[in-house]
Structure 1
């Protein structure tokens, strides 16, 4: 139900309403719903695809359980997915990659989400491209994406986002790819840390199992960006 008040809001252009609604949608679904109930102009602006594409989707652990049973909620999320919401594209891409094993479809969805600025999708995209051994161009593209995330300081958060989605949403169902020796990114014969990342990862993992302070730090202190990529490949394929 919407309420139209006697005010000047009727004279506000629709593109201004869309801009306001997009701003509110990036805060939360609840905020978007509250705005859309305020007046007919806000309700109509909320129907735009760009609003559904921009809406902030809560993480799995913060999503009310009844949303998956509510027909109206399901229609809303279907509309967001059809509009290209990057968070929903990212989650569906992970399903395609690691549950349904549809690599081509999953990569396309990851690419769409990463182009829309989704950092975790860009991280997963970089990992999947660096795991490709048959296309050197794609492997280099994956490394470039990884460099961009590293330069922006987004690596740790993106890794955690993948971990959260994979382990919380589908426990026991995820099938991660195997990491073989030919997947190694660093190929410099002069690199002093080349080939040491599996040992470092195992050391960090065992330290984490003991709740030791040595579990922290990952490979951020390693000067070679390619070796850091090798470390993150180890962490990525062992996410579940």
Structure 2
């Protein structure tokens, strides 16, 4: 589980302890909170972190992490991608109710397909704290779009 490496500093030999099990001294809940933070910042960093050990891989694949994972790298709508990996990534985000995935799907359905029902998805994303969704819902609300549907 541990390995020892030695380095010479100032002529003295010093021992360094390297742990193969990161959770040995830090509780799993703390690692989970770190994982959630990393997920909000960069999906690439999250995937790198997940490859470190089995615990990180398990934590990275939890629905809470996928709900918060950053989709920043994949700026355009998922339908514009031909990569199977990207499609699977976006589908997993959507399955875990990631607000960005919900917003992208609703945005596409509303503006490209003219589906007024998609406003409910934008409201869900806005309620979850998605800023662009809140902005679009606010603009559409000020213009009166969507209010007629809810009033009936």
In 1, Cα distance between equivalents of 2:91 and 2:54: 23
Specify whether residues 10 and 68 from structure 1 end up closer, same or farther in structure 2 by C-alpha distance, changes over 3 A only. Answer: farther
Q: Which runs of 5+ in 2 are unaligned?
A: 1-18
Deviation at 1:14, TM superposition (A): 3.3
Match of 1:99 in 2: 112
1:121 matched to 2:133: yes
More strand by share: 2
Question: What is the TM-score with the length of structure 2 in the denominator?
Answer: 0.72
Cα displacement string for residues 181-237 of structure 1 (whole angstroms, at most 9, x for unaligned residues): xxxxxxxxxxxxxxxxxxxxxxxxxxxxxxxxxxxxxxxxxxxxxxxxxxxxxxxxx
Distance 2:97 2:130 in 1: 12
* Structure 1 unaligned spans of 5+: 140-240
Aligned to 1:47: 61
Alignment of 1:14-163 (within 5 A): 14-58=28-72, 68-104=81-117, 106-132=118-144, 135=147
Q: How much is the aligned-residue C-alpha RMSD, in angstroms?
A: 2.7
The count of corresponding residues between Structure 1 and Structure 2 is 129
Q: 1:45: Cα distance to partner? A: 0.2
Match of 1:6 in 2: 20
User: Closer, same or farther in 2 for the Cα pair 1:109/1:38, shift >3 Å?
Assistant: same
Q: Contact conserved, 2:119 with 2:146, CA < 8 A, in 1?
A: no
Change in 2 beyond 3 A, CA 1:124/1:40: same
Shift of 1:29: 1.1
